Structure 1
């Protein structure tokens, strides 16, 4: 498999290396790629950016188990909010793992390589996403991991289970909905109660407790994703008459990213044996948007599937016909990137330069 080894200038070489790896990963045809497993398993916590089916059987409005979602995925619509791979699907293959099953379908031997607990509309705060009714907040995702851990311990014994869990990757990507489906929603009181910094501080305090809880359950290798350029997603662009990114929204989420970086530094210093890395999604997205053509993208400001201005006023509807040239789009729908962007960001996280992921990349983290 070709690898994007350095992800640093010159840009032309960066893009060529990354695109070679994107094509290589996508060429695995959505299956286990027979590479050596770098870690025993990966456990995934997050929201719709990496949900792969946990909301399918919930009484929830946040679902993606219908066509054209999954149009480029071998199994069709599975609950992934993408035309194909999510970022963690590509990371799993880069780690030599099979695609990780959702918690709703994981039992017995299916948990051996990890479990995906992510849930669309979920947030760090339990109240986040209530407009969508059913969702699995981060606190509940951790409780679901405890159930999985009990299964693993029952099978392996306490000592072997603890040793194995300590070698696994824990990928956490939370916070988007705490803004999109909480702070920025008019029917939530949050924006009237807290300014941007105060809210970011509340989120960071809760997030620190949650990550520490995973550490106390045996996790030692953490990859924590920051928030992207949320002011540039089609849903937000559709609200702008100028069609340009919302600096207000981008500035709103900056304190959260800065708080998470500080939190991870503190956890690295104070939790023995733990390594937390920060996946700087905002910088990745900035790189992709600023140099879109170098990465093969020609459409950066509207969804491939959606309705209204920037195809972001109403997100992708059942059986809607999406754009035919999906590889050229940065955004799949009103909120989520295309498979091509997901794979590209996965390569940046896996083998990326410290501009994108630090203090280690995922490749280095896996080898600890």
Structure 2
């Protein structure tokens, strides 16, 4: 570990201690929904091609390959650290029952999108719609375990982390040979389609008692190794057309947060996570965070190590903390740590209108 990376991790640990995070839960539970960026092993139990249950995934994780699409821990794992909450187990694991579900569950599924058809060629996956249905299954279990008053308190004080949208672009809109989306919708219309679906499911989650939501925006997808490998951008540059396509979604999600906070959802708070801005800062100023490689994957093959993603037993780079990207699509744990810290304690530029630390402290 180089000096800058060591110093950054010292600052993170010290900040955790100063904020009383270590050993002190700031919320009773964390419920995680999303895609492979936060999947903790749900796809291990599905008939899916999109799995990360093999080496070198998890090479730096204490449990080894767990189904997480990174070298160690995901954004939601690390955000849970800041909140003092252990990473919740995957919903699909048969052992996720009884007292194990009281601290929350992870419903995220690799290849899952906001709309059901996204990522369909990977096989089974939980879309946003299905993840909400799965949460309602958990809710039925909780009703049998807790009094109505205690359940209301649990739900209203829990943190809901939602990370959706990448597959609706990478494995739908940006694949015109397999999907008609880009022919049927311009970028603004497609973003509106996604946001309408998203809003309906947020309303469903609000209606059953959840009150504190963190909604992550899309990162700069035109900068991931998979997109750089297309050769559609000059060396050292991102694919600007892709970043422009996803712009309306991020702008719309931020507006949606404002609309949901305007009094139409009393007793609730919705937070927009500016993933695009934070990740852009990492890519524009890599040395500030201890990164030396920002344009290729640590594990992968082909141009930018992004044409073929991380294969079983493929040897990854050795200096993983210096890479922004782990594979063709996903960040390293080191990059996830920056994203989590900025979501937790960042300014209104990073998390709007408040950050996750402030969200946890709210008494709604």
Question: How does 1:144-155 map onto structure 2 within 5 Å?
Answer: 144-155=134-145
Residue in structure 1 matched with residue 347 of structure 2 by the alignment: 353
**TM norm structure 2:** 0.93
1:217 aligns with 2:205: no
Q: Counterpart of 1:62?
A: 50
Question: Aligned with 1:56: secondary structure?
Answer: helix
User: Does 2:334 match 1:340?
Assistant: yes
Aligned counterpart, 2:324? 330
Deviation at 1:22?
4.1
On the 8 A contact 1:21/1:347 being kept in 2, the answer is no
Which runs of 5 or more structure 1 residues have no equivalent in the other structure? Answer: 1-13, 28-32
Cα distance between partner residues in 2 of 1:200 and 1:334:
24
Work out whether residues 15 and 294 of structure 1, in 8 Å CA contact, stay in contact via their aligned partners in 2: no
**Equivalent in the alignment of 2:239:** 246
Runs (5+) with no aligned partner, structure 2: none
Aligned equivalent of 2:289, options 291, 295, 298: 295
Name the TM-score, length of structure 1 as normaliser.
0.92
Q: 1:164 offset after TM fit, Å?
A: 1.3
Q: Detail structure 1 runs of 4+ shifted over 2 Å in the superposition.
A: 14-27, 241-244
**Structure-1 separation of matches of 2:135 and 2:22:** 26
Measure, in 1, the Cα distance between the counterparts of 2:194 and 2:159.
23
2:67 counterpart residue number: 79
Cα separation, 1, equivalents of 2:255 and 2:7: 31
Q: 2:129 maps to which residue?
A: 139
Q: CA RMSD in A?
A: 1.8
Of 279, 283, 286 in structure 2, the residue corresponding to residue 285 of structure 1 is 279
Which of 158, 165, 180 is the equivalent residue of 1:175? 165
Which of 253, 258, 265 in structure 1 is aligned with 2:258? 265
1:97 aligns with 2:90: no
How many pairs are equivalent?
A: 350
Residue number among 31, 53, 60 corresponding to 2:41 in the alignment: 53
Structure 1 contact 25–343 (Cα < 8 Å) conserved: no
Query: Does structure 1 retain, via aligned residues, the 8 Å contact 2:16–2:82?
Result: no
Distance 1:26 1:236 in 2: 35
